[in-house]
Amino acid sequence: MNAQAALPGASLVDAAYDQIRRRILDNVWPPGHRALEQEVALELGMSRTPVREALLQLQNEG
């Protein structure tokens, strides 16, 4: 799914954040899952930069 199509008007970082967080909360990625930037970027259809920023935001939230 293309992140821009999924969340019109949202920045790519916001789109990545929302999609990654949803995968975590829905247990698509169970505890202990290693989300590698490159793989997540490919899955979300975007570059690694917004994925990296989104992962950092989630990490800072705990």
pLDDT at 30: 87
Instruction: Determine the Cα–Cα distance for residues 19 and 27; give it in Å rounded to an integer.
Output: 12
Task: Please state the domain extents for the chain.
Answer: 3-61
pTM score of the predicted model: 0.78
CB 43 within 8 A of CB 16: no
Whether the per-residue pLDDT at 2 is higher than 60: the answer is no
Q: How far apart are CA 41 and CA 45, in angstroms?
A: 6
Class of CATH domain 3-61: mainly alpha
Render pLDDT for 4-60 as a digit per residue (tens, 0 to 9).
445 555 699 999 999 999 999 999 988 888 889 999 999 999 999 999 999 999 999
